[in-house]
Amino acid sequence: MGIRNDLETGLITLHTAHTSYQMWADGLGVVHHLYYGPSIGEADLRCLEFRSDCGFSPQPAGLDMQRDYSLDTLCQEYTGSGVGDYRIGCLRLAAGDGSRIADLRFAGAEILPGKYELPGLPAAFDNGGECETLRLTLRDPVTGLTVILLYGVYEAADVITRAALLENGGTAPIQLEKAASACLDIPFGEWELIHFHGRHCMERQPERAPLLHAVQTIRSARGASSHQHNPFAILAAPHTTEDAGECLGAMLVYSGNFKIECELSQMHSTRLVAGISDDDFCWTLNPGERFAAPEVLFSYSAAGLGLLSRQYHHFLQHNIIRSVWRDRPRPVLINNWEATYMDFDARRIWDIARQAKELGVEMLVLDDGWFGSRVDDRSGLGDWECNEEKLGCTLDQLIGRVREMGLLFGLWIEPEMVSPGTALYAAHPEWVLAAPGRSPATGRSQLVLDMGRPDVVEYLYQVFHRLLASHDISYIKWDMNRNMTDVFSHALPAGRQGEAFHRYMLGLYDLLGRLTRDFPEVLLEGCAGGGGRFDAGMLAYCPQIWCSDDTDPIHRIKIQYGTSFGYPPAAMGSHVSASPNHQTGRSTLLSTRATVAMAGAFGYELDLQKLTDEEKDLVRVQIQQYKALQPLLLEGRYDRLTDALADTCFTAWQFTAPDKSRAVVSLVVIDPQANPWPIHLRLKGLDPAARYRESLTQHIYTGAALCHAGLTLPIMQGDYPALQIMIERMDTE
């Protein structure tokens, strides 16, 4: 299968295990998109292309009489600018002569073994023989602008990655005002858009809407991929469900400002364009220079949203996450934040650690407030020296005592920020994003360091390299607690301020890459006020990301449900917190909180000393249960058994071992009913012919019976009750 390039016809077809993607370079050098969907073998689909004389859609120069040929109506692989295609485009630019035109024509295609890399950017990688690369070159003959389209074909994974490199082969600078990563033109079909909106403490809520004959845009202009929108979208046929129907996903491997645009055209074709947001973006491309646009991960499913999600889960786990922790069981941790906030000293931390060890916890994480003058969220950021007066000991003494108890030690940091009034700010006010003559806005009483400056990145590298090299630290929680305003870099000239947002991301990726290479054994968890930067770009460095600052289990069900459409549950940091919940005031059972948290990277975020003896015994059981189930989380298949946003009284999900030998079904009643309807579940992913025992009643069923007839569960009432049902395959007699 792989990549087929017919030099005689100009037809190029990309094959994965179950899909095909076809394009065609015609005699004029225009590269048409023909198809993306289920496998078509060696078929030539040029005959399906629809052309007509569409009024007011112009023809390229020299085709005056061929009025059925217009860039305004053709499906294309990547669009130029100003040459007659009025739909959303991939490029916007200003050439050296002031013109804003780019007429991109085919200049060659090359098939290469392995996976391409993108300079300065995270991207998918090849574990060895998994990927083949198509390098497709387009060129504008007047400006010399060259666009190299990169396609990574992962046959077994049913994923096609795309990226773009833009090179200035001319003699004058080019101002790039938009440089998208990829365009996907779908010539036929009815599609709906699924995207994932939200806010702080309620991230990644799925929303599904029909495509309109208009431009629909998902974007972030906040300097981070954001709580409000996620750089992942799905196009689904109107009747597509979890288990049936067509759908395809587009996921950006990028953590900053992004834009995903969709348009239903006048000819009823669908265009999706994804890449860096062009809001406040302008990049000067001097002669001989190259700009790399971030990668997009495309995947297609003809069997519903569940399969599409599993394809992304597997791909992110195996081809995006590089950490040595990717496949390792994660230590069960206790984070002191919701137990103490910043009101602690070493003795209080040791008391928490001592109790945690007795209950089976494996790591203690010291959160915000251990450094500088940090007594509240208005001070101290940037002065990364341990506050020994507050602790009553050195950091090494604190860590040493925790390690003597038999626990690993983790630490919270927020490298990208600085508080006014700190020594760092006093020494380097020019390191802050702030425009001359203006007082910058603050968020959480802090300012943003200019990560686009190499001197800032080098300073932070030295600070945190020294921290990790000097202390026995096994885990870092990397936080980022405000979005960007006043984005002006004192290291850039006036004409290049449009580069500041993207240079920030390049600096951040550089810092993350250097530290993770130097300290590969340190487990790095990403965080941005919870889930404000939960994206594939951060997963390239952080095998898990704090899913949300909202730890209310009933809300977390919805947050984790939406997140699961694109991202693997093993990457979702999820903790058991105190009840009543600190964010919502809701009271829930300890067992319910644990059931929800076990759908992610599990831990606790409360004062264990305040639990009753009965609750402490339950924590011991929960930890052992999670450790037994963790292989399912890391390697198994995940299924959404219900719609967590639907008006139902319960929600449920399932993890299944790759060999189908066992599964766990988790269920939470989110709206206990009087005179209730039955709770009935159909399971998924089991071997139809195998015999399984379910733990609730110890009854034995075939896999076919569990998946088609299902289980009817007993009435569950009270304050949000939950249960977990183990499904074990019986030995063959």
- Using CA atoms, how far apart are residues 420 and 441, in angstroms rounded to an integer? 12
Residue 66 has pLDDT above 90, yes or no: no
Residues 6+ apart with CB under 8 A from 638: 309, 310, 313, 564, 568, 569, 653, 654, 655
Per-residue burial over 579-592, b = 16 or more CB atoms within 10 Å of its CB, e = otherwise:
bebbbeeeebbbbb
Cα separation, 228 vs 219, whole angstroms = 9
SS3 (DSSP) at 384: coil
Residue count of the chain, please give it: 733
d(CA 649, CA 596): 16
In angstroms, the CA 516 to CA 658 distance is 30
Percent of the chain with pLDDT over 70: 100
- Of the listed ranges 65-69, 280-284, 290-294, the least confidently predicted one is 65-69
Residue 647 has pLDDT above 90, yes or no: no
Q: Give the pLDDT confidence score for residue 673 in this predicted structure.
A: 86
- Contact yes or no for 686/719 (Cβ under 8 A): no
d(CA 606, CA 356): 11
| Token reading at 648 | 């139902």
Average pLDDT rounded to a whole number, residues 552-580? 97
Q: What is the CA radius of gyration of the chain?
A: 27
Residue with tokens 């645009």: 261
Burial class (CB in 10 A: 0-12, 13-18, 19+), 507: buried
Q: Measured between alpha carbons, how far is 245 from 428 in angstroms, rounded to an integer?
A: 56
Q: What is the average pLDDT across 213-228?
A: 97
Report long-range pairs for 237-242 (Cβ below 8 Å, ≥24 apart). 237/189, 237/190, 237/191, 237/192, 238/190, 238/191, 238/192, 238/210, 240/192, 240/304, 240/305, 241/304, 241/305, 242/304, 242/305, 242/306, 242/639, 242/640
pLDDT tens-digit map of 295-326: 999 999 999 999 999 999 999 999 999 999 99
**Mean per-residue pLDDT over the chain, rounded:** 96
Contacts of 484 (CB under 8 A, 6+ apart): 222, 223, 224, 433, 448, 501, 504
Taken in order 396, 401, 402, 406, the sign of the CA dihedral is: positive
Strand, helix or coil at 124? coil
Q: Is the pLDDT of residue 539 over 80?
A: yes
C-alpha distances out from residue 488 to 420, 431, 444, 493, Å:
17, 10, 19, 10
Confirm if 536 and 251 have CB atoms less than 8 A apart.
yes
Is it true that domain 650-729 has CATH number 1.10.3720.10?
A: no
Q: Residues 242, 368, 535, 552: which is the catalytic one?
A: 535
| Helix or strand run (H / E) with residue 467 | helix 454-470
Give the single-character DSSP code of 441.
P
Take residue 713 and report the two structure tokens written for it. Answer: 């569960």
Give per-residue pLDDT as tens, 51-60: 888 999 989 9
Q: List Cα–Cα distances, 464 to 124, 305, 383, 515, 656, in angstroms.
A: 26, 41, 12, 8, 39
The DSSP code sequence of 292-350 is EEEEEEEEEESB-HHHHHHHHHHHHHHHT--STTTTSPPPPEEE-HHHHTT---HHHHH
Point out which residues pair with 711 in neighbouring strands.
681
Assigned CATH topology for domain 2-319: Beta-galactosidase; Chain A, domain 5 (2.70.98)
pLDDT higher than threshold 90 for residue 677: no
Mean pLDDT of 417-431: 97
518-535 tens-digit pLDDT: 999 999 999 999 999 999
**Angle at Cα 172 formed by Cα 171 and Cα 175, nearest 5°?**
140
Write out the two tokens for 309: 């999600």
Q: Is the pLDDT of residue 236 over 60?
A: yes
Q: Which of 615, 635, 687, 728 is catalytic?
A: 615
Percent of the chain topping pLDDT 90: 95
Q: Is the omega angle on the peptide bond into residue 568 within 30 degrees of 0, that is, cis? A: no
Does the pLDDT of residue 732 top 70, yes or no? no
Secondary structure class of 427 (helix, strand, coil):
helix
Catalytic-residue membership of 535: yes
Helix axis angle, 346-359 to 613-635, nearest 10°:
70
| Residues pairing with 680 in the sheet | 712
| Structure-model confidence comparison of residues 63 and 188, the more confident one | 188
Domain spans in the chain, listed from the N-terminal domain onward: 2-319, 650-729
Tokens 């090849």, located at residue: 126
Summarised one tens digit per residue, pLDDT across range 313-362 is: 999 999 999 999 999 999 999 999 999 999 999 999 999 999 999 999 99
Q: What are phi and psi of 273, to 5 degrees?
A: -125, 130
Quick one: tokens of 293? 């646009």
Place 1 in a pLDDT band, splitting at 50, 70 and 90. low
**Is 90 exceeded by the pLDDT of residue 625?**
yes
The Cα 507–Cα 453 span in angstroms is: 7
Residue 733: the pLDDT is 45
Instruction: Determine the distance from the C-alpha atom of residue 519 to the mean position of all C-alpha atoms in its chain, rounded to a whole number.
Output: 23
